[in-house]
Amino acid sequence: VLWMHRLMSKPGASVLVTAGGTPFLISAPYGKGKVIACAGTVHGTVPAGTTAFWNWSGWPQLLARCISQ
């Protein structure tokens, strides 16, 4: 992950994915469902030779697993 916002999980929330040791995807119950917060940001220019997380081939599968948990 090239750029991230800082997230802090609240009590009852689960850190689903970390990047560089800090929370990247957090899930928390909300009403009859849940909320998932993503710290990744699309700001900036992706350096040559790197893959942005949103272009990573595993990104759709990762999100699907987070939603289904």
Instruction: List the pLDDT tens digit at each of the 69 positions of the chain.
Output: 788 898 888 899 999 999 989 999 999 999 999 999 999 988 888 999 999 989 999 999 999 998 887
Residue 2: per-residue pLDDT: 81
Q: In what order do the strands lie in the sheet with 14-19?
A: 14-19, 22-30, 33-38
How far, in Å, CA of 20 to CA of 4, rounded?
10
The structure tokens 């939603």 sit at: 67
Query: At residue 40, what is the residue type?
Result: G
Is the separation of the CB atoms in 2 and 16 below 8 Å? no
Residue 32: per-residue pLDDT: 94
Residue 43: per-residue pLDDT: 84
Residue 39: per-residue pLDDT: 93
